[in-house]
Every structure is written in C-alpha cells, then in structure tokens.
Amino acid sequence: MRRQYAEEGITEADLAPDPVTQFTRWFGQAERAGFLEPNAMVLSTADAAGRPSSRTVLLKGYDQRGFVFFTNYGSRKGTELGANPFASLLFPWHSIDRQVIVSGAVERTGRDETAAYFRTRPHGSQLGAWASEQSSPVASREVLEQRFAELESRYPEGEGVPVPPFWGGFRVVPQTVEFWQGRPNRLHDRLRYTAAADGWTVERLCP
C-alpha cells in the first residue's frame, strides 16, 4: 500500500477542485488501509502570547464549512482558542506515507449541532464530560471516580444526560490545506490549497 502511494505520488492534475473533496478521497484511502483511528489528528493552538501547545483529538465531522472536533471549552485548548481563535490540524498517516495539515480560523459549533453529537455518545462518555474539569489539576483518581459515581446515580442509564454548558464543538474553517505524499529520494509531493476570494489556489512546495 505504502509503496503504491509512493510510486504514484500526486500531481496537480489529480487534485480535486477543493481541499475538502480531496480530503474525502484520502480519508477514504486511509480507512481502507486499515488504520485504527484515521480521524485522530494533532490539534495545535497558541495562547495569547503565541506560545504553542498540541494534543490529539478526534475529527467528528467535516464538510465544506470545515473540520469539527468536540471538547471541554474550559480546557487548555478551549481557553487558548478563546484568546486566539486559530488552529492547525495534522493528520499523521505515516503508514501510508501521507500527512494532511489544515490551518485556519476556529469557531464554536452551534448548540444544536453540539447537542445532536452529544446524544450519539455512549452514556459513560456523556457522564465523563460532566465529571472532568478537563486540564485542571485533580487531587487523585479517586476524586474523579467519586464524581463519576455521583453522576451515575443522578443520571442512571436510559435517563437523558443534559449537554454540559462548558462542553461542545469547534470548527476549523480551512484557510490552507496541505497534502503531503512521501516519494523516493526525499522528493516528496507537497500540494497546498489556499483559500482565495473566488475558490482555491494550489501551489507545489519544495519538500
């Protein structure tokens, strides 16, 4: 699989007219290549002073509007995005010699969209969202489990769990999307879409 991609490479002529359609193609190929979680992506944010931080999150939806993940708005990433609403997403599909990097402005998803996704989560994950003050120090694991147990007795399985007001989605609206394909002799293909007033421009970058 890896060799096949490396031999084929990508050319400007192969690319879809927009990066979301191109992403759909590569995401499908990553899924078919048997990845455990092809939707795991490294989200990088920066605080108001420009200091960066990164962590993995799961892509939960994407369309022409952008790429969506869900998290705790009070977490480190949430606080940073509040102060500096720009982010980078990196899909590290190493085993097929590919990488996709999205960068752009970030906005919160609407509460309806958040609620619709929250309702699809397993009961335990819904309670976990309430139990965890994500990114804050906690005295011990027991404290966390105690909070969870209290929530379990308050909202037993089958009972609707309200969406935590401090929890929801972020959408990264792409400004640039780079598709990287490993090739022999380090002459990798890098094709980058940039948003323009009337669509997308594509440039090839040196590897």
Strands (DSSP E) along 81-166, which ranges? Answer: 86-93, 98-108
Among 6, 33, 46, 57, binds ligand FMN (CB under 6 A): 57
Nearer to ligand FMN, 39 or 194 (CB): 39
Separation CA 159–CA 191 (nearest Å): 49
Asked if 114 is part of the footprint of ligand FMN (rule: CB under 6 A), the reply reads no
Q: What minimum distance in Å lies between the beta carbon of 189 and ligand FMN?
A: 27
184: burial class by Cβ within 10 Å (0-12, 13-18, 19+)? exposed
Our CB check for ligand FMN shows the closer of 137 and 158 to be 137
**String of contacts with ligand FMN for each residue 130-169, x by CB under 6 A:** ----xx----------------------------------
Asked if residue 121 belongs to a known ligand binding site, the reply is: yes
Please name the helix (run of DSSP H) or strand (run of DSSP E) that holds residue 193, with its range, or none: strand 189-196
Radius of gyration of the CA atoms of the chain, in A: 19
Answer yes or no: 111 catalytic: no
- β-partners of residue 176 are 103, 194
Instruction: Candidates 1, 48, 58, 149: give the one binding ligand FMN (CB under 6 A).
Output: 58
Residue 77 engages ligand FMN in binding (rule: CB under 6 A): yes
Q: Residue 52 Cβ, how far from ligand FMN at the closest point, in Å?
A: 11
Task: State yes or no: residue 71 binds ligand FMN (CB under 6 A).
Answer: yes
Q: Which is nearer to ligand FMN, 29 or 39 (CB)?
A: 39
Q: Confirm whether residue 187 is marked as ligand binding.
A: yes
Q: Which residues belong to the annotated binding site for substrate?
A: 2-5, 60, 117, 121, 125, 186-188
Contact positions vs ligand FMN (CB under 6 A): 37, 40, 53, 55-58, 69-71, 75-77, 134-135
Active centre residues (catalytic): 186
